[in-house]
Structure formats: C-alpha cells, structure tokens
Amino acid sequence: MPTTPATAAHSSSNGTADAIMLELVDENGTTIGTAEKLAAHQSPGQLHRAFSVFLFDEHGRLLLQRRALGKYHSPGVWSNTCCGHPYPGEAPFAAAARRTYEELGVSPTLLAAAGTVRYNHPDPMSGLVEQEFNHLFVGMVQEHLRPDEEEVGETAFVTSGELAERHAAAPFSAWFMTVLDAARPAIRELTGPSAGW
C-alpha cells in the first residue's frame, strides 16, 4: 500500500507500536481534536471519525468478516467487510482502502462513498462504547482474499436472505445493522434490484 503523510506518521521504524490516535469530531463531522483509541471508546465514549466498508462479489453477495477472537473490542462477532478509524489527517476513503488491504489482503474495486451515519452503540460484552461519525463505502472485490489472522477469524459471502438467517443465528457487532441500513441505497445502486438488498 502507498505511504501517505498520515500513514507515515503512524509507522514505527523500530518495530514498536505507537499509541493509536483517533480524530474527534462534532455532530457535523468537523474535526475538533484527537484522543487515544481505547480512551475514546470508554464509557460514555467520545464522538470520533470512523468508516465502514461493504464489498460485494460479481453475484451481489456481501463479504462479511468475523472479527478475530484476540481483538479487544467485539471479538468473535460477525460484521461488515471492514471497519475502522482514519488516522488524524487521513481521508476516510484512503483509510477504508488501507484497512481493507491490511485486514483482508485485497484492494477493492469501484469503491465509492455511500454517505455518513452517526450512532452511539454500547457493547455489553466489553463495556466499551461506539460513539461514531461513520463514513460509509461500497464497492466490489474481485481478488482472492488473504485475511490477516490477527484481525479476521473467518469470512463469508452472503446473499441478502442468507444474511438474515445468519444474523438471527449468530452474534453480530452492535453497529452492523445501523451501518448496513444507512448504506442500503448505495448498495442497491451498486448491486441492482435483483440482488435483494
């Protein structure tokens, strides 16, 4: 993946991990400061910028991921293709493409903005809070997946009907339905009416 000023600032030359900082925003999505990632998610939560990606195959099936069990927030639950947080100063589109590649080993095609949604979702398991101004993206995936096992426990391509069955039977992230519903108009435009989204 290409290096941008924002990503270069978060790369460590000696192999140690720097604290991950998030961009705090107001209700309009205007940047107002930064906070350390875990601190921003501790109750009651600080409103911060995030993104969610929904990728589909050529059959109109949505790529889901089950979050790795080692993740401190919402481990082991199913969620959308990729989600995360831009670094301070990083464009949400660039962050979405970067994290999709880091987590799944693929670069999306036809990735397009699909609006924003603001929500406040506590996670009952961890006690953490998702207080987010979320930038939504939809696109296609045409490459073979190469998931990072530290990030992704499992992947699945599902139709709209299969998603409903899976959602009824397995735990999903607290934010999943909120971001999916907000992205549906763009998803329908991308996949067409026959896909059923």
Active site residues: 83, 132
d(CA 185, CA 57): 17
Q: Enter the tokens of residue 86.
A: 């831009």
Task: Give yes or no for a contact between 56 and 190, defined as CB atoms under 8 angstroms apart.
Answer: yes
Convert the pLDDT of each residue in 16-45 to its tens digit. Answer: 457 899 999 999 999 999 999 999 999 999
Q: What is the pLDDT of residue 6?
A: 47
What is the chain written as a DSSP string?
----HHHHTT--TTSPPPPPEEEEE-TTS-EEEEEEHHHHHBTT---EEEEEEEEE-TTS-EEEEEEPTT-SSSTT-EE-SEEE-PPTT--HHHHHHHHHHHHHS---EEEEEEEEEEEEEE-TTT-BEEEEEEEEEEEE--S-----TTTEEEEEEE-HHHHHHHHHHS-B-TTHHHHHHHHHHHHHHHH-GGG--
d(CA 18, CA 10): 7
> What residues contact 67, with CB distance under 8 A and at least 6 apart?
74, 75, 76, 77, 78, 79, 151, 152, 153, 173
Convert the pLDDT of each residue in 82-97 to its tens digit. Answer: 999 999 999 999 999 9
pTM, full prediction? 0.90
**Average pLDDT of the residues of the chain:** 91
Convert the pLDDT of each residue in 109-135 to its tens digit. Answer: 889 999 999 999 998 777 899 999 999
Q: What is the pLDDT of residue 21?
A: 97
